[in-house]
Amino acid sequence: MVAFVPTALRGGLCVSRPDCPDIAKGRTVRLLKPLTLPIMLLLPCLLVAGGCRPAVQAVRTANVSDDMAWPAGKPYTAEAIPFSAGFPLTVTDDVGVETAFDKAPQRIISLAPSLTELLFALGLGDRIIGVTEWCKYPPEALKKPKVGGYINSSQEKIVSLAPDVIFCTRGTPQSFMQSLRGSGLKVFAVDQTNLHQVVSRMIAVGHLCGVRPQAQELAGQITGLQDTLRNKALALPEAKKPRVLFLVEISTRFVAGPGSYQDDILKDCGTVNIAQTGKPFAVLSEEVLVSSDPQFLIIPSDQLDKLTKEQMLAKLRKQPMWANLTAVRDGNLIVLPTDEISIPGPRLVQGIRQLARQLHPELFSDL
């Protein structure tokens, strides 16, 4: 599989407030355990009737980053660093390493497709001096110097490019990150396992690069869509929520379970994920698959392996394990563009919209 390395490692979220004296003095901002989105982020969508796009705009204009007053003791959510935190700034990343930034980095290397897409979407393409071989979007990324693969990049090449910072995910081997730091380079690792982390880390990267407003706008597209989906799904009785299964890799039954951003998306879309594996990503047993009998199977398009959707269904109907599933009998195989559902970056919004429309056209056709 391309685009990401499944991991059960958990990340964190900053709960410091912008009026914190430590922040004002440029001291360390620590990332703590993830917290659920506050009701404040939900209010703009409650005020807007209709489809997703007006709700997204409402979230953009209801900017929670401008040091507005918050109730005492309430932590910030979906934001890794308070808006008022300026340089110099020291931040603890998602592997627990503190990194000091005197100013916004001007020479950036990205070791993950999701982060490369994010940096370009933030208008930072001219600062990117190196990417991996898997970083193929946008097309401009193909023109950037390559530093190797996703988990086997060349330290020699990276050092030679003299970056101000290397952005990577927790899927990057820690020994490699430590080796890069040992060479005197700054490495900042983010966790993108669940959807809350995807959003908050967008803002963290944007803040560190000095483009916080643009990052919040991108993050607001996701949170606004989440709120719209949740509000519409409130009308669904439990009996109308279909049993679904997201197969990261169909041949091995490698699935997205609780704690993954795919699971968060499935919940927002008004479904029941049968992959109650206790881990964000795991192999689902044949027994659980058959007994849970999903009504929809969801796969990234690369899992078709050059087959059409109809050909894949025909293949599954020839295998006893799959043939008797309601999803296969009824032809309910949802195929989503791999890059829009398997890369936790800005294009995730497109994949979420497509999935929602196919699961509940009566609710989400206007997204």
- Give tens-digit pLDDT for 352-364: 999 999 999 999 9
- CA dihedral (206, 201, 108, 24) positive or negative: positive
Q: How many CB atoms lie within 10 A of CB 148?
A: 18
- Give tens-digit pLDDT for 104-138: 999 999 999 999 999 999 999 999 999 999 999 99
What size, in residues, is the chain?
A: 367
Q: Spell out the CATH class of 236-364.
A: alpha beta
Alpha-carbon dihedral 356, 359, 365, 367, rounded to 10 degrees = 0
Residue 266, pLDDT above cutoff 90: yes
Which tokens go with 172?
Answer: 């990057």
Q: How many CB atoms lie within 10 A of CB 280?
A: 22
- Give tens-digit pLDDT for 198-242: 999 999 999 999 999 999 999 999 999 999 999 999 989 999 999
DSSP code string of 38-87: PHHHHHHHHT--S-HHHHHHHHHHS-TTS-----TTPPP-S-SS-TT--S
Model pTM?
A: 0.78
Is residue 257 within 8 Å of residue 227, measured between CB atoms? no
Alpha-carbon dihedral 234, 238, 239, 242, rounded to 10 degrees = 80
- Give tens-digit pLDDT for 169-188: 988 999 999 999 999 999 99
Instruction: State the Cα angle at 230 between 120 and 257, rounded to 5°.
Output: 70
Q: For residue 71, what pLDDT band results from cuts at 50, 70 and 90? A: very low
Is residue 188 within 8 Å of residue 255, measured between CB atoms? no
Residue 66, pLDDT above cutoff 80: no
Using CA atoms, how far apart are residues 355 and 352, in angstroms rounded to an integer? 5
Using CA atoms, how far apart are residues 285 and 104, in angstroms rounded to an integer? 47
Residue 89, pLDDT above cutoff 80: yes
- Identical fold, 13-225 and 236-364: yes
Determine whether domain 13-225 maps to CATH 3.30.70.260. Answer: no
Q: For residue 80, what pLDDT band results from cuts at 50, 70 and 90? A: low
Q: Which of 263, 280, 239 is nearest to 352 (CA)?
A: 263
Domain ranges of the chain: 13-225, 236-364
